[in-house]
Amino acid sequence: MNGDWTWHGGALAAAQRHFGGDARDWIDLSTGINPDPWPGVASLAIDWQRLPEAGALTALETAAATSFGIDPAYVCAVPGSEIGLRLTGRLIGGAAHHVVPAYRTHGAMIAASTPVGADDMMQHGDTLILANPNNPDGRCLTPDMLAALLDRRDAGSWLLVDEAFADGDPAASVAPLVGDGARLIVFRSFGKFFGLAGVRLGFVIAPRDIVAGLRDLLGAWPVSAAAAAIGTAAYRDTGWIAATRAALPRRAAALDAMLARRGYTATGACPLFRLIETEGAGALFERLAHARILTRPFAERPDWLRLGLPADADALARLEAALG
Amino acid sequence: MNGDWTWHGGALAAAQRHFGGDARDWIDLSTGINPDPWPGVASLAIDWQRLPEAGALTALETAAATSFGIDPAYVCAVPGSEIGLRLTGRLIGGAAHHVVPAYRTHGAMIAASTPVGADDMMQHGDTLILANPNNPDGRCLTPDMLAALLDRRDAGSWLLVDEAFADGDPAASVAPLVGDGARLIVFRSFGKFFGLAGVRLGFVIAPRDIVAGLRDLLGAWPVSAAAAAIGTAAYRDTGWIAATRAALPRRAAALDAMLARRGYTATGACPLFRLIETEGAGALFERLAHARILTRPFAERPDWLRLGLPADADALARLEAALG
């Protein structure tokens, strides 16, 4: 198996080169991006000519904060949660553990960070980085469990929670616990739930001195005019958000039922992706790729395969046929 | 005079609130952004749904490097040259001087940096930050003068050249001097020459270890799908670039001639903006603002006013009438 597929999801052009076909033939299930994106992009007028004004950034952060149910004073828009993770890691530094398995960047954002398994999370008091829901296994911790992890921190250490996949279930978010007195930082991603990963927009929710440190690294125009316009309108679209929160679990359940018919058990509580565990995961990845369906294998776990949500009934049927 | 206008250019919404009128009434001459933007945006299909693939970033950096006349190995795309300046400053740190007057961020990107006047640039051997062409006075140093400044650096120090306004005259660029053996870093901006500042796209041209350090801060998706698509197509549009390089000096000359008729002498060798020096600059800013023309005053130099290029003959005529 080529290492490309186990690095990040979304390498569809590389898959086409390797397995053949053209873009329209392929179904990309290698990421956890909502395949039914927020539909308002086409009707937005984006001013590419001017620098985004300060008011546009404030409007974006206020719309996002309102959607997250928090005070905008603790919200810093960033050009993708990936950059938000990396810059925050540099600001904090120090001794850290990152929970594995998880998103690769969690192990890279603080230089001295050491991996720790989920069962041993409570054993260390230094800075802890984890995702909730976790990727790729979809494990969800309750806010009480996260509060216990926050209490466990040594003086000067932080709890960093990557909520990139949290939009589906707002009750699971610990963003409302962020404040100047708490050593808690939460990361949110725009592109996954809203299905618009190309926009590059995320948010760091942190005490105000961390927000100020990030603004100092980013300067006056941290996100594009498009990100400001699209993000502001999408976070204000409470009807679409509510409908999508209701629809995603139904779609995930349909995927689970199909997988069960084919003898696979899907794990995870996040409706944007499913993980299956099977001895033949590598061979299954290859078989699906030859049927022009890209999934996400893992170098360190050759028995895992992650699948994003199929976009529609046709895609689900093609996946079922390819599973054989 | 309200401090807003002297912080950054482009605060048109604030100007409308303060002086009245609506957006269509106003002419914004407060920035150095080409008012005649690259026209290809409307015909580009931008894939907002997917994460930009690695190949899209490579294509963008290759197109930009070709336009700059350099090896793409030394080019790192960043989501705006502002972020590029700030992150590079953090990577380098140490003792530094920044040439003043210049762009405000030059004094903020390295914590310990001290201002130095242009006449005293050769007196220090630590890291030196300057813009060429300079903003707001349009001063241009020759590549020979910049090479002398590079030679003057102490071991371990850097010459940082912000070429945000250099696209009009490629012969003035020192980007071709960048390499692994030189302590030289060059910053380029997409939005100014191409007139598309809302895209947020810039480039850091640096030795490969600095490029690697920046990529480590930025992660796998440093720029949006739109920035990759628009930037790649625009840098490949050699016909538009050549025509714009020819047109901008003609337009600047027309502005200079009109200003001379009204008794003002414009300084500067960069065709994207002009600086006039007049005792009544503050009153002139106010008078132009009441005529719905926004220009750029400077808190520390109340005798300066910077003007961007008017978009067309009508805008030039309105400016002439308002100058009285």
Cα B157 versus chain centre, distance: 24
pTM for the structure as a whole: 0.96
pLDDT value, residue A269 = 84
| CB-based contact B101:B301 (threshold 8 Å) | yes
pLDDT of A29 above 70: yes
Cβ B224–A79 below 8 Å, yes or no? yes
Cβ A198–B227 below 8 Å, yes or no? no
**Cis omega before residue B133 (within 30°)?**
yes
pLDDT of A244 above 70: yes
The amino acid that residue A140 corresponds to is C
Q: How many domains does chain B have?
A: 2
Weakest-pLDDT range from A6-15, A147-156, B76-85, B209-218: A6-15
Of residues B60 and B24, more confidently modeled: B60
Looking at the fold, whether A245 and A283 belong to one and the same domain comes out as yes
Looking at the fold, whether A225 and A243 belong to one and the same domain comes out as no
Among residues of chain A, what percentage have pLDDT more than 70?
A: 99
- Residue B222's domain is classified under what CATH number? 3.40.640.10
ipTM over 0.90? The verdict is yes
Q: Does B83 touch chain A (CB under 8 A)?
A: yes
pLDDT of B2 above 60: no
Looking at the fold, whether B70 and B106 belong to one and the same domain comes out as yes
| CB-based contact A116:A123 (threshold 8 Å) | yes
Task: Give the up-direction half-sphere exposure of residue B299: CA atoms within 13 A in the CB hemisphere.
Answer: 9
Looking at the fold, whether A147 and A251 belong to one and the same domain comes out as no
Among residues of chain A, what percentage have pLDDT more than 90?
A: 91
CA angle, corner A165, sides to A271 and A155, nearest 5?
140
Looking at the fold, whether A144 and A247 belong to one and the same domain comes out as no
pLDDT tens, B224-267?
A: 999 999 999 999 999 999 999 999 999 999 999 999 999 999 98
Looking at the fold, whether A64 and A172 belong to one and the same domain comes out as yes
Looking at the fold, whether B7 and B125 belong to one and the same domain comes out as no
Cβ A219–B80 below 8 Å, yes or no? yes
Q: Identify the sign of the CA torsion A280, A286, A291, A293.
A: positive
pLDDT category, A3, cuts 50, 70, 90? low
Looking at the fold, whether A209 and A130 belong to one and the same domain comes out as yes
Of residues A60 and B2, more confidently modeled: A60
Q: Which of A189, A215, A236 is the last residue of a domain?
A: A236
Mean of the per-residue pLDDT values of chain B = 95
pLDDT value, residue A1 = 43
Query: End-to-end CA distance of chain B, in Å?
Result: 21
The amino acid that residue B264 corresponds to is Y
Q: Which of B220, B236, B252 is the last residue of a domain?
A: B236
pLDDT value, residue A43 = 92
What domain range is A225 assigned to? 41-236
pLDDT category, B1, cuts 50, 70, 90? very low
| CB-based contact B199:B230 (threshold 8 Å) | yes
Looking at the fold, whether B184 and B290 belong to one and the same domain comes out as no
Mean pLDDT score, A245-256: 97
Looking at the fold, whether A144 and A290 belong to one and the same domain comes out as no
A195: chain B residues, CB-CB within 8 Å? 49
pLDDT of A20 above 90: yes
Which residues of B, range 198-227, sit inside 8 Å of A by Cβ? 198-200, 216-227
- Residue A266's domain is classified under what CATH number? 3.90.1150.10
Of residues A318 and A53, more confidently modeled: A318
| Distance of alpha carbon A154 from alpha carbon A125, whole angstroms | 5
β-strand partners of A208: none
| CB-based contact B83:B118 (threshold 8 Å) | no
pLDDT category, B3, cuts 50, 70, 90? low
Looking at the fold, whether B87 and B214 belong to one and the same domain comes out as yes
Q: Which of B218, B236, B254 is the last residue of a domain?
A: B236
Q: Does A243 touch chain B (CB under 8 A)?
A: no
- Transcribe B218-244 into DSSP letters: H-S--S-HHHHHHHHHHHH-HHHHHHH
Using left for φ > 0, alpha for ψ between -120 and 50, and beta otherwise, residue B253 falls in alpha
pLDDT category, B6, cuts 50, 70, 90? confident
Looking at the fold, whether A262 and A129 belong to one and the same domain comes out as no
